[in-house]
Structure 1
Amino acid sequence: MRSSRPLYDALAAGYEDHFAVPHRRAYDDLAWDQVVALLPEPPAGIVDAGCGVGRWARRLQARGYAVTGVEQSPGMIAALRARPPGPGFTLVEASMDDAELPPRAAMVLAMGSLQYTADPEATIAHLAGWLRPGGVLAVLVDSLVGLVLELLRDGREQEALRRLATRRGVWRQHGLEADLHLLDRARLEAACAAAGLTDIRTRGLLVTAAALGRDELNHRLTTDGDAHLALERRLLESPLLADTGKQLLVTARRAAPAEAG
């Protein structure tokens, strides 16, 4: 797989603006809503694996959490150092697969970063090892099924079949390309179970994307965003629709000793 590091280096300077696009802002907000509902009481420790320029770290710090960010992109690290999240933030300069952290985190987040690792199952097991008993893992990835449905809607049958067969995607930005794994609910949930996690749940974010297409989705989010997000919040509660989301958010918990026994 072609590394995502050069692409993220190029995006770093304007990465906050990257999420001003309506559909990106929407799935980011939907994911945030779900994570907030699972947050422990502050000032618990949270790990943000692939923290980028610190977008989520700042939100979490504002709520009183101690955040450890793990980041490998030199460009992202430079932007993060230029605008640090604040006291209580710790930066670990390493890939999420190489970083070694103690099992003390109340929550571990990997919001859009897991899909760029060499072996997502191994990475989920590694991240789960950072959790304290009762701690929660939350992972956001691109959806295989969601992308295939979008491509079919747009008449791109051959590409849809290719993505379905290879389970790989390509992200293109600023003339650069990075390969990524396209994941589905079954694979994510099996990886969490194999890592010893419980209370596993997957939600599909932006379920309407495949039916509407990006332009119409962005139009609705721009002209009546509150109403459309209200619809999306209802749709994400259906397990039957999870794989059809543009993004998948899986959450799982490390069992406490009494539960494990």
Structure 2
Amino acid sequence: MPIKGLFVFFLISWMVSGEAFSQKKFKVTEAKQAVAVDKSHFYVINNSTVQKYTKNDGKLVQSWDGSAQGIKHLNSGVVIKGKLYCANSNYPEIPMASSVEIFDAKTLQHIGNHSFGINNHGSLTWIDQKDGFWYIGFAHYGGKEASEGRDVRWTSLAKYSSDWKEVESWVFPENIIALFTPKSNSGGAFGKDGLLYMTGHDRPEIYVMRIPTQGFTLEHIRTIPVAIHGQGIAIDRFIKDKLVVYGINRAERTVVVEEIK
């Protein structure tokens, strides 16, 4: 895959619906699926490829292409302790199959894999870790992409132990399912407040959710309008006292860095 340049697009601040934003955009042709982030770099994830860029000036450092290994649909990623964990699926094929692909974030060398194969939950779209547990978003879709009669209502969040044993799972409330439809939950990440910040496929919104203390349905706390248009997102946990989210605007082919107050 040819290496392409990256350029800062613009930096602005404004107020929308009572929410304050500071925003920076990078023009990236390959920005189609998701972004992951660590202390010094961000990682643009697109189906079969991962590209690593410097956060301060957008310089392309490394790239990885897994098409020869049969990687067709990387959905999102998260960097944890020097490793980049990417959610991978066979979308739009049925039956749905998924895996986690693991990279050394420093070198982008592929170093591991955990396969879910065909599982009851659906198609793996995002992954994060909290308190030693994995939290994984599994998607179901509407229309012709529905799997075995299961539509978007079957989309769920599952919790796994550190060695990939399922612990528990939750469903989404009806109003969020309606916003996901006809696609599904594409991204998610834990904020420092312990809440989940989640996205659909296209809408310029982030849905703030809480894991319930009773029952099986995630609690919708609020909806935040953003310049990120769905897809996979990442929260920059190296910035103190600020909530900074990385995502993409697929139509513009841009990586969006957005502070939410």
TM-score when normalising by structure 2: 0.29
Larger helix percent? 1
Larger RCO, structures 1/2 (Cα 8 Å, 6+ apart):
1
